[in-house]
Structure 1
């Protein structure tokens, strides 16, 4: 430690650098949570599936806690309907979608095109489309492909990117926006 002190780097300085790095690294979900805070201590998600005919309108967060039963309903709703398999949906993905929905200021639910995907479904979709990632976060239950009738792809994309959380992909030709809770990044046309 003496060598570091001579170069001006002390233990206290290292801790300060670490703290500053932690603060810079932490915002990945903070903006989405900040947007949701405006709703009080309630988080709600509304979606329907054209594939299964199912819909969901549920409060999944209340008084600072996720509601396990609501998350279970969301997980079932966002299952891989082709294989009829489910995996626990990462609630951070739902938070991003809910925050973007709040920014869009609509009552219309999202149309869910794709939530969780098994490796088999992902491979099948990948074989027919160049836009499907080999290691898609859909396979980790950390992504959703969404659209709305009353809002354009660019509008949904802007709302999702304003959350400054996760990945947001714009698929204008296919009329949907991808949202995930992975690293912050954007793509698409």
Structure 2
């Protein structure tokens, strides 16, 4: 692992402008009210970084995965492994659009705390098992395609996280207040939950 360390059209199309706007807003002034989220990236956001911790595996990742318009292959490999299905120890290539949404929302929240990742990639077998235990698990979950993550922050509310991800206008955002997490994906731009 070279660049990081891991330790113990609107509906289906990705709205790139939304994520770029989020990076631009945080490069200038981080705003908890998201009032700057509509700005367009102009010479800012040359570096994208993701910080996460997994309570399931005890692993933490803090890596720069994008510099000046280029994704860093080694960093993406580390992220893919970190976001693996820990139950089956299976990884997939996570969609970089989802990683961008996660990073942009994190920047809008103006916090140094890493995300607590509850779920990243899920194998079909894991998804089926979770679906048998809960009505809240989708049969064709984007988790199985490496396009979704369920995340939590101790220092920010579910509502704050939801609003930050929603401000990116780049995918699906689900609010799960009773379970204290937010779902972010790079599918259709849509929102749900309370």
How far apart are the structure 2 equivalents of 1:79 and 1:70? 14
Change in 2 beyond 3 A, CA 1:184/1:83: same
Given the alignment of the two structures, is residue 59 of structure 1 paired with residue 64 of structure 2, yes or no? Answer: yes
How far apart are the structure 1 equivalents of 2:131 and 2:104? 29
TM-score, scaled to structure 1: 0.85
Judge conservation of contact 2:85–2:121 (CA < 8 Å) in 1: yes
Judge conservation of contact 1:29–1:166 (CA < 8 Å) in 2: no
Alignment of 1:1-189 (within 5 A): 28-37=15-24, 38=27, 40-189=45-194
TM-score, scaled to structure 2: 0.83
The alpha-carbon deviation at position 40 of structure 1 amounts to 2.8
Larger Rg: 1
Aligned residue for 1:173, secondary structure, equals helix
Change in 2 beyond 3 A, CA 1:23/1:72: closer
How far apart are the structure 2 equivalents of 1:137 and 1:60? 22
Change in 2 beyond 3 A, CA 1:74/1:25: closer
Aligned residue for 1:133, secondary structure, equals coil
RMSD: 1.7
Aligned residue for 2:164, secondary structure, equals helix
Change in 2 beyond 3 A, CA 1:135/1:40: same
Displaced runs of 4 or more, over 4 A? 22-27
The runs of 5 or more residues in structure 2 that have no matched partner are: 1-8, 28-43
The runs of 5 or more residues in structure 1 that have no matched partner are: 1-21
Pairs aligned (count)? 168
The alpha-carbon deviation at position 31 of structure 1 amounts to 1.3
How far apart are the structure 2 equivalents of 1:187 and 1:30? 22
- Structure with the larger helix share: 1
How far apart are the structure 2 equivalents of 1:94 and 1:147? 15
Judge conservation of contact 2:11–2:188 (CA < 8 Å) in 1: no
Aligned residue for 1:177, secondary structure, equals strand
